[in-house]
Amino acid sequence: MKNPHHDIPATLASALQEARRVVVFTGAGVSAESGIATFRDALTGLWSRFDAQALATPEAFRSHPDIVWGWYEWRRAQVLRAAPNAAHRAIAELERRVPELIVVTQNVDDLHERAGSAHVVHLHGSLHAPRCSSCGTPQPFPEGAPSEPEEGRRIAPPACARCGAPVRPGVVWFGESLPADAWNTAIRAAERCDLLLSIGTSALVYPAAELPQRALAAGAVVAQINPAATPLDARAHHNLRGAAADIVPELLASAGFGAGDRPSDP
């Protein structure tokens, strides 16, 4: 079927129509289309003096907890001002149209959930789930939105209500392992799915980039939606170039997923 903007292969539309188990694997490109700066995009104010990668380590938090906490509050404020885009909404709609769908995301925002996705696995943690840096107990944020988000400032992290240690952002830092439960759930989903959609990810960051390979090895159809070429190009069954907010809704339309078209459960 020919689309107004992109050619959606008929074989991919058919694969989506027939799929009973779908994995949607998303990366920073999906959030960037909502105006959220990717991890290494140009930083402003105080944060322009720091290397983002250097801030995202346990060592940086131990040495300068106020700088690291302030930076993550700046990022959280940016996310709170953003809204899910058409790709997030289409992915949530797809979840309502197929028998089983799981979103596995490398993003640390909550835009998939805010768009309506119910089954989301966060491989790299979440900006919205802080925890104690010592005992690991989940912690609430202080009341009120992060202050001075545009320029940023040093902010001392709150103390754990249980042990008094500094509360840390709930994200996976460089040198840390992925959350075991999230990773195991993602691997199981990739190895049993019929179709994996890799959307807005560079396919460079391991171990997350292993998921499409696991799906391919298990015999699933793998389709990639990304503006630029990635290492996955050579192995994916379909490579669609462009913005996820344009292509994902078109893919759903090409599969005929309008109101009332949900397949019956097996």
At 44 the pLDDT is 60
Q: Are residues 90 and 9 in the same domain?
A: yes
Q: What is the pTM of this model?
A: 0.90
Q: Are residues 151 and 42 in the same domain?
A: yes
Q: What is the CATH number of the domain that holds 142?
A: 3.30.1600.10
- pLDDT tens digits, residue range 99-152? 999 999 999 999 999 999 999 999 999 999 999 999 999 999 877 656 555 556
Q: Are 26 and 201 within 8 A, CB to CB?
A: yes
Measured from the Cβ of residue 114, the count of other Cβ atoms closer than 10 Å reads 16
Q: Are residues 217 and 242 in the same domain?
A: yes
The set of residues, in sequence order, having a beta carbon less than 8 Å from that of 204 and lying 6+ positions away, is 230, 231
- pLDDT tens digits, residue range 160-193? 999 999 999 999 999 999 999 999 999 999 999 9
In 3-state terms the chain splits into helix, strand, coil percentages (rounded to 5) of 35, 15, 45
Which residue ranges make up the annotated binding site for substrate? Answer: 72, 75
Q: Are residues 53 and 185 in the same domain?
A: no
Average pLDDT estimate for 227-242? 96
Longest CA–CA separation in the chain, Å: 60
Which residue ranges make up the annotated binding site? Answer: 72, 75, 106-109, 132, 135, 160, 163, 200-202, 226-228, 244
From residue 6, give the alpha-carbon distance in Å to each of 38, 49, 241: 25, 41, 9
Sign of CA dihedral 108, 114, 115, 118: positive
Q: Are 223 and 238 within 8 A, CB to CB?
A: yes
Domain span at residue 115 reads 1-35+84-126+177-266
Instruction: Report the domain count for the chain.
Output: 2
Q: Are residues 192 and 218 in the same domain?
A: yes
Give ∠ CA 141-143-148 in degrees, rounded to 5: 90
Residue 216: name the closest of 199, 194, 231, 185 by CA. 194
Active site residues: 124
